[in-house]
Each structure stands twice: as structure tokens, then as C-alpha cells.
Amino acid sequence: MVAPLAPAALHPLTPGSPAYGMLKIGAIGAIVALRFALVRRSKPREADAAPEPVETAPPVRQPHPVSKKKKRRKRR
């Protein structure tokens, strides 16, 4: 009498075989790791994020420089 073969003996990737179990666990682990990496990547880092700009008054323009000759001419 011949012992019936386990379904996993027919093909290595049938459910119930150790190879199938390891591949399935590896695939689930890869999906979890990918999701974890993408979530971390999408969050802005506190060190890299620039602080919010504080509103300041526009800089006051300095008057155009006048040459010394023109200054003397104006005084007269």
C-alpha cells in the first residue's frame, strides 16, 4: 500500500508547504516595510523644515548717493 502524498509534495508553492509559507510571510513583511518607509518619507522633518517666516516691514530704501560736487553746488 502506498501512502498518499501530501499536497505540498506535488508543487513547492502549494498552500501548506514551508516554501509557500515563507514566501507569503516575506511578501507581507515587504508590504509592511514599504508602507512604513513611505509614511516616514512623506512626513516633513523638523530639522529640515524651515521655520515659518515672520512678517517684517519692507526695508527702507536709502536715498540715492549724491556726489560731493553736487552737494557743494546745492549749498550755494
**pTM of the shown model:** 0.43
- Spacing of C-alpha 11 from chain mean position: 41
pLDDT of residue 31: 96
> What residues contact residue 18 under an 8 Å CB cut-off, 6+ apart?
8
pLDDT digit string (tens) for 9-35? 666 677 778 888 899 999 999 999 999
Report the pLDDT value the prediction gives residue 18, as an integer from 0 to 100: 83
Q: Is 20 exposed, middle or buried (0-12, 13-18, 19+ CB in 10 A)?
A: middle
